[in-house]
Amino acid sequence: METTPKICVAGVGAVGGVLAGVLGRDYASSLTLIARGARLEALRQSGLALHSQFYGERVVIPAHVSADAAGLEKQDFIFVCVKNYSLDEIAEVLRPLADEHTVVVPVMNGVEAGDRLRQKLPESIVCDAVIYTNSAAGPDASVIQTGAYTFVHLGSKLRDERRLTGARRALDLLTGVGFDARWAEDIESELWQKFILNCAFNIITARYRNTSGDIRRDAALARDARALLTEAAEVAAAEGVALPADTVEQKYRFITQTQADTATSSMRRDVEAGRPTEKDAFTGAVIRKASLHGIPVPVTERYHRELEKTVS
C-alpha cells in the first residue's frame, strides 16, 4: 500500500507559490510550507491562494506552515524556491527535514543552486531544475500567474543512478498533479540557456529600471544585451556546457523582438522595493567562472560594479 508523500515547499513566493498551489490539489494534507514574516502569518490564517491563467484558481490549506523544522517529520520531497542569497540560511532550516531518502529540488535562478545544496545536504538526493513562468507574489498569501505557460525542466547534473531516479520521482510527482514538468537529459544545458538570458535581461532591467521595449529602442542597451549574452555563453563553453549553436542570437531576438514591450524582471522590482537582489547569482557567477578560465567579461564586470553602487 502506497503512503501519501510528505512534501515541503520552502519559499512560498512567485515560484514556490505556483508549485505549492498545484501540488496542493492532491497533497494538501501532507504539504508543508516554509515561510517567514508577514507571509508566514497570512498563510497560517487563510492558506495559499493561487490565481493562475494556466492552472486555474485554487485555495490550498496546507497541513503545516512554519518558519522552521520544529515538530515536523522527515520529508519525501523538498522544493527549494528561495532567492539565491537566502540559500545557505534555508539549507540549515531544512537540514532536520531531509535524510538519505529525501529528494531535494532547487527551483531557483542561476546555475549554482544545485551544487550548493549538494554541499549543504550531502546525504539527500539533490537534483536540478529550471522553471519558466510569469508569476508574482501578492501582498497577502496569494500568487498571481499570468500567460499561457508555466513549466519546469527536471534532471540531474550528476549522472549517478540514485540522483537520476530521484529526479524521475520528482518529475512523476509533478506530472501526477497536472504540472507541466519535462525531463531534461542535459539539465545543465537547460540551466545555462535560461541563465544566459537572465544575465542580460534581468541585469539591464535592474540597472536601468526599464523594460524590453526600452532596450530594443536604445542601440547602446541593445549592444550591451548582446555583449552580456555573448560573455555568459563564452563562459558556458569554457565550462563544457553543450548549448545550441544559436543560443546568443535566439536570446537576443527574444529580448529585442519577441518579448512583450512592457516586460521587465523581478530583479528590477527588487531594486525598486529596496530588497536584496540576485546579482551575485548572475553577474557574480559569470565573473567567478570567467576568472577560473581566464576569459575577459568586461561588460558583465561593468554592470556588476554599477549595480553594486545602487543595490545591496
pLDDT digits (tens, 9 = 90+) for 221-249: 999 999 999 999 999 999 999 999 999 99
Residues 116-139 have a mean pLDDT of: 96
Kindly report the CATH number that applies to the domain delimited by 7-185: 3.40.50.720
How much is the average pLDDT of 135-159? 94
- Higher-confidence position of 267 and 312: 267
Cell numbers linked to 235:
563562459
Mean pLDDT of 172-184: 98
Residue matched to cell numbers 490564517: 45
What pLDDT shows up at residue 139? Answer: 83
Domain boundaries, the chain: 7-185, 188-310
Residue 312: pLDDT over 90 = no
CA distances from 118 to 103, 106, 193, 213, 305 (A): 11, 10, 22, 39, 30
pLDDT at 309: 84
pLDDT for 310: 75
pLDDT tens digits for 242-269?
999 999 999 999 999 999 999 999 999 9
pLDDT (tens digit per residue) in 32-71 = 999 999 999 999 999 999 999 999 999 999 999 999 999 9
Average pLDDT of span 272-287: 96
Q: Has residue 311 got a pLDDT over 80?
A: no
Residue type at position 100: E
**pTM as predicted:** 0.96
* CATH number for region 188-310: 1.10.1040.10
